[in-house]
Amino acid sequence: MLGELKQASGTEFDRKYIKMQMDAHRDAVALFSTYANSGDDPALKEFAKKTLPVLKMHEKHVKELAVAHHG
């Protein structure tokens, strides 16, 4: 991913960066949601539950950035 960003510039860089951030946050929210609901380590499960709202907020901000950038 870093290689792709290093070769990109201007609008192409912005587009790729935003897409990578959207994908990463979507994946993180999915992972933490799954673990918060069905994880087998109680301490990690609690961490996932506490961290999930922050990840969802970051995901929302990235989506807003994407809309502002393309709007």
Residue 8 belongs to domain spanning: 2-70
Among positive and negative, which fits the CA dihedral 14, 16, 18, 24? negative
The dihedral region occupied by 10, where left means phi > 0, alpha psi between -120 and 50, and beta the remainder, is left
Q: Please compute the mean of the pLDDT values over residues 58-67 and round it to a whole number.
A: 94
Q: How many structural domains comprise the chain?
A: 1
Give the model's pLDDT for residue 5.
Answer: 86
What is the pLDDT, as a whole number, of residue 71?
Answer: 56
pLDDT at 59 over 90: yes
pLDDT in tens, 41-54: 999 999 999 999 99
